[in-house]
Amino acid sequence: MKCVLEGNGVKAFGKAIHALSRIGEDLWLDPMVKGLALRSVNVAHSAYSCFLFSPLFFQHYSLGSASEQGNETIKCKLVMKSVLPLFRCLTSIERSVERCQISLSASSDQVIIQFFCRHGITKTHNLRFQESEALQAVFASHLCPNVVKAPARLLGDMVMHFPASQEEITLSMTPLRVSLRNYYEGGNDHMRTMYTEMSLHPDEFDYFQVGMESDITFCLKELRGFLSFAESHCLPVSVHFGAAGKPVCFSMEDMVLEATVVLATLIDSENSGPSQPTGTPVSSPRCADAAALTVVSHGADSTKPQDTPAVTELIASSQGSPIIKPPALIQLLPQTDNPDGLGVPGEACAGATTTPASTTICSLLFRALSSEQDDDGCAARLPVLACYSDTEEDMEGDYTRSPSL
């Protein structure tokens, strides 16, 4: 894959990387026909973000020729710490970088990022990547009872009332009012912490649909980078969510890019503001708790109950993610034939988690990206990680677990 960005595109790309860096420590580059996707997942698998830049975003965008790539997709995982510094200072990028070229090929293990700057200076960065299947959050946004669409600055204005260090936040929605308040899980500081609540009228949203009144608590820190991107591009943000425990999805799009953040929410739904949680207090921020996760690519966990959703529901909001043909994926998953099952990811999660119910974050349901479908529509062969086989793919989902998951 080779792509060229120019001027403002470099800045936007850098800003996307900033937003993704708030989520996880690794960055997946996923070049596809429909564009270049950047993805990140946090360690606890409770936050996922994807920025998909369509080919129109780039001055030049080409995937390798079919022969070069063969049937393999490039599965490129970079360490965020090595990518972020390249794009850290956006103002200086704006000033001095004229063009940026990113090249990636399956044959080498390096991503080459070149900045062509003013005064004829070229900076070339070679970054080693790891072959690793990217994860993608499974989220059926069209099943969400609650949908709001906020104009660009609104969410940013809402969260600015909370300090930068605020970990978690509770969003409440009723037909009359939307409110945000900070969430503290108790402990010594309970009496000393400052509580903030802000509420606004549904009229302030571009679109407001309340299927059910709900309070969801999620990690604000992971969202801030995304909101800052939305504000800087003046893009409205759509929020899809349901009851507490089910994930919440923030998304934005314009002509050339789509971006999503999916965050897990706390299951404990009777918490409201500063009440004490009933479960064991945890010292680390809740969002970082590694609740047991249904990562569907783990073929090894086939003993799990049938709790994965029917494939047809996968990523319906389709933030640029490829939809897998049903038979292939069902083959892989522990659940084999439930084509009609409209399993909602949240419920599935609740069953799968092993931590104490009252303190668990319902984690996100993930599945591995698979390669693009064969044209003849036959059962897709899900690729095996390169370290296990160079050229041949195994059928039937002899799917090896990615070491990083």
Using CB under 8 A as the criterion, which residues of the chain lie in contact with other proteins when the complex forms? 160-161, 163, 190-201, 203-204, 274
Least gap, CB of 263 to other proteins (angstroms): 23
Instruction: Compare residues 95 and 190 and give the one whose CB is closer to other proteins.
Output: 190
Residues 334 and 304: their CA atoms lie apart, in Å, by 7
CA angle 33, 30, 223 (to 5 degrees): 120
Alpha-helical segments (H) within 84-147 = 90-96
Residue 159 near residue 226, CB atoms below 8 Å: no
* E strand or H helix at 37: strand 35-41
CA angle 219-220-224, nearest 5°?
A: 135
Number of other residues whose CB lies within 10 A of the CB of residue 71 = 14
Is the Cβ of residue 206 or residue 392 nearer to other proteins in the bound state? Answer: 206
Q: Which is nearer to other proteins, 195 or 388 (CB)?
A: 195
CB nearer other proteins, residue 66 or residue 164: 164
Give the H/E segment covering residue 353: none
* Shortest Å distance, C-beta 362 to other proteins: 27
What distance in Å separates the CA atoms of residue 170 and residue 190, rounded to the nearest whole number? 16
Strand (E) or helix (H) holding 110: strand 110-117
- Please identify, using beta-carbon distances, which residue of 196 and 389 lies nearer to other proteins: 196
Nearer to other proteins, 179 or 400 (CB): 179
Kindly state the smallest distance separating residue 158's Cβ from other proteins, in Å. Answer: 8
Between the CA of residue 210 and those of 98, 124, 266, what are the distances in Å? Answer: 46, 50, 19
CB of 248 to other proteins, least distance (A): 21
For the CB of residue 186, give the shortest distance to other proteins in the complex, in Å.
11
Quote the CA–CA distance of 162 and 298 in Å, as a whole number. 38
Smallest gap from residue 99 Cβ to other proteins (A) = 40
- Cβ nearer to other proteins, comparing 122 with 275: 275
Give 176 or 323: the residue with its C-beta nearer to other proteins. 176
| β partners of residue 5 | 100
Which is closer to other proteins, CB of 117 or CB of 200? 200
**Smallest separation, CB 208 to other proteins (Å):** 12
For the chain, the first-to-last Cα distance in angstroms comes to 25
Beta-carbon contacts of residue 270 (< 8 Å; ≥ 6 apart): none
Shortest Å, Cβ 241 to other proteins: 21
* Radius of gyration from C-alpha coordinates of the chain: 21
- Taking the complex as a whole, the smallest distance from the CB of residue 190 to other proteins amounts, in Å, to 7
Cβ neighbours for 231, distance < 8 A, ≥ 6 positions apart: 152, 153, 156
Nearer to other proteins, 195 or 207 (CB): 195
**Which residues touch 76 (CB under 8 Å, ≥6 apart)?**
28, 29, 30, 104, 111, 129, 130, 131, 132
Quote the least distance from Cβ 38 to other proteins, whole Å.
32
86: nearest Cα among 64, 104, 111, 108:
111
- Helix or strand or coil: residue 204? helix
